[in-house]
Amino acid sequence: MRLRYVDDANEKIEAHERLLASPEQYKGKWHSLFEKDQPLYVEFGGGKGGFIIGLSEKHPEANFLTFERNAKVVYKSIAKLEEIHHDNFFIVWGDVTDVEAIFEKNSIDRIYLNFSDPWPKDRHAKRRLTHENFLNKYRKILKDGGELHFKTDNDGLFEFSVEEFKKNGWEMLFITNDLHQTEHAEDNVMTEYEEKFSKTGKNIHKLIAKNV
């Protein structure tokens, strides 16, 4: 995962107090990074971290991590962090495919997946972050009763995802094809993609599933 055109990217990410590289080294001791021992909420595929930064500010009663596989995107988040003063979050350079090497079993209270790549071709279904292969990984690291919150603008991906959760025995707590018209809209923190799609009039799908 080399970052072109930025010298010593790893060192620059690690040097920032809100950015982390080599997440495997924190397995079993993520809570030691935070001032308070609180529920741990994790986002996979977080881009520059806008969603988790907003959510962590809104909910100081929890600790937050967001993972982004693209080092260049993680590095660019530094500019976004200049005006941030709360400290219950970290942006992590890491890949969702490695979650079992990064987290212990039953160690996460909630997972967020926001506007993941839909991989629309059937032959690429296993790459979707809501495919059963990934759902099985999430179940291992989520606590019993832990939740997964999933948002997308893609109709096909949402339909596929709902069926995958149901097929694999998750308890469906909430399903909507128009998030911004529900009672959850008031507490919703929008991602950059969500803001862009909403301005075009596109409905936002959301589901909340419980690990049982």
- Residue 184 DSSP one-character state: G
| CB-count exposure of residue 37 (10 Å: 0-12, 13-18, 19+) | exposed
- Structure token pair of residue 35: 């001032």
Question: Are 93 and 76 a contacting pair, CB within 8 Å?
Answer: no
In DSSP terms, which residues pair with 172 in a beta bridge? Answer: 209
Question: Are 23 and 92 a contacting pair, CB within 8 Å?
Answer: yes
Other CB atoms within 10 Å distance of the CB of residue 36: 11
The sign of the CA dihedral 144, 128, 200, 178 is: negative
- DSSP H helical ranges for the chain: 9-15, 50-58, 71-81, 99-102, 132-141, 155-167, 192-199
Identity of the residue numbered 194: E
Catalytic one of 8, 95, 117, 187: 117
Clarify whether 117 is annotated catalytic.
Answer: yes
Let me know the angle formed at the C-alpha of 153 by 149 and 159, rounded to the nearest 5 degrees: 70
Task: Report, as residue numbers or ranges, the catalytic residues.
Answer: 117
